[in-house]
Amino acid sequence: MNPHPQAADTVIEARWVLPVEPARSVLPDHSVVINGGRIAAVLPASEARINYSPKRHVVLGEHTLIPGLINLHTHAAMTLLRGLADDLALMDWLNRHMWPAEMRHMSEEFVYDGARLACAEMLRGGVTCFNDMYFFPQATARAVRAARMRAALGMIVFEFPSPYAADAQDYLNKGLALRDELKSEPLLSYCFAPHAPYTVSDKTLRQVATYAGELDLPVHMHVHETRREIEQSLEQHHVRPLARLAEFGLVGPALIAVHAVHLERGEIELLAQHGCHVAHCPSSNLKLASGFAPIGALLAAGVNVGLGSDGAASNNRLDIFAEMRLAALLAKGVSDDATALPAWQALELATIRSARALGLDQSIGSLRPGKCADITAVRLAGPELAPCYDPQSHLVYAAGREHVSHVWVNGELVVDNGNLTTIDTNEVLAKAAFWRDRIRS
């Protein structure tokens, strides 16, 4: 027995730890030690019991610990529009349903209530960080801070007016002011979020490129989502959207190209050469019939790919477990290669690769000493999960968000045995019912 064990806030002892880095690692009967919101050690449970004296010792004998999942692309407040207009083509869905509903009901209150609902759903599903693109990001920030989870707030940009901003410059000014106000918040980071090439002018794209370079921030943008988007760009600008972005210096390590479904070989090479990132949203791509993103080809070329859910209005789940499974299955089906996107790599897409896209991979995305203690525990027990030969495979192909039992963000327990500790579930559900009745009427 160690006569001088080290103090720690929490020691989590689990059947398996999947640290993600190094790749493919499976650590049976290991513990993760948390102190001061960070991971102090990852070591065999027998050693942790001898060498640490924690304030709290959590024993999870049927569980695997993984890094908190990261949702690389969503519109959090659109949870309040979940199921409002389903089974429609993208532009019909946007122009005739989503945008009119948003313009009628958009407000800080709407965004705050929708974002809180999204935080509740994502935390219960093991997601500890999300990258958002929506109006009134200050309201999303308020919801995120109350939930005590992590978020990258998109400084959204459109050309057209909305209840949030009058024009593109107003969008930019408000986004930058919010960043200046909250840039010291430890759980918040920021992205420029011009909606798409077809909703943002040349002048605004140049401005975004300049600001992003000066502030060293990511640019989070829908790119090559549909064939029609590309046709319109050729008609109006005589180049494909990605080539147009390249003209303004937006094709580079800051770019998070969302969807990236319709890519030619040269465009995949362009993304790889310039260190761009792709946010893959397989469920949304299928539901809106946008197509099949060439994920196998992107990964083979060296493009960093992460996973996003998109908004609950086009998915209709903020469920990264579902996205991992679907991404792996689609990659195999599209490529005719059963070895494409194996389970361990699908977990990378949902963790370290998404963190890398956000520029946060030194802080989150893997369970390494020194990193923030963003941790998800998944209970791999029950008839639907028996037997378990490989916990990595089980996480992607057999388990789901319903098996998440505990979640820590920055060392704080925010989900305890499936129960939210920072969000009043009844209050969130009552607000959702309120908005449903208001929107439906």
Name the burial class of residue 402, with classes exposed (0-12), middle (13-18) and buried (19+) by CB atoms within 10 angstroms of its CB.
Answer: middle
The two structure tokens encoding residue 112: 């705050």
**What global pTM score does this model have?**
0.97
| pLDDT on residue 92 | 86
Q: Is the Cβ–Cβ distance between 332 and 299 less than 8 Å?
A: no
Question: Amino acid letter at 382?
Answer: G
Exposed e or buried b per residue across 359-380, where buried means at least 16 C-beta atoms within 10 angstroms of its C-beta: bbbebbbbbeeebbbbbbbbbb
| pLDDT on residue 1 | 59
| pLDDT on residue 299 | 97
Pairwise CA distance, residues 272 & 221, whole Å: 17
| CATH T-level assignment (fold) for domain 6-67+366-410 | Urease, subunit C; domain 1 (2.30.40)
Quick one: the chain helix, strand, coil %, rounded to 5?
Answer: 40, 25, 35
End-to-end Cα distance, the chain = 68
| pLDDT on residue 101 | 87
| CATH T-level assignment (fold) for domain 69-357 | TIM Barrel (3.20.20)
SS3 226: coil
* Strand partners of residue 304: 277
Which three-class secondary structure string do you get for 228-295? HHHHHHHHHHCCCHHHHHHHCCCCCCCEEEEECCCCCHHHHHHHHHCCCEEEECHHHHHHCCCCCCCH
* Pick from 319, 271, 320: nearest CA to 295: 271
Instruction: Output phi, psi for 6, to 5 deg.
Output: -80, 145
| pLDDT on residue 243 | 98
Mean pLDDT by 10 residues, the chain (441 residues): 87 98 97 98 98 98 98 97 87 85 92 98 99 98 98 97 96 98 97 97 98 97 96 97 98 98 98 98 95 96 98 95 98 95 98 98 98 98 97 98 98 98 98 94 82
Q: Is the Cβ–Cβ distance between 372 and 363 less than 8 Å?
A: yes
Residue 404: alpha-carbon gap to chain centroid: 17
Pairwise CA distance, residues 193 & 188, whole Å: 15
Please work out, in degrees rounded to the nearest 5, the angle formed at the alpha carbon of residue 35 by the alpha carbons of 34 and 36.
130
Domain ranges of the chain: 6-67+366-410, 69-357
- Residue 87: its H or E element: none
Exposed e or buried b per residue across 316-333, where buried means at least 16 C-beta atoms within 10 angstroms of its C-beta: bbbbbbbbbbbbbbbbbe
In this structure, the number of other CB atoms found within 10 A of the CB of residue 425 comes to 12
| pLDDT on residue 235 | 97
| pLDDT on residue 95 | 85
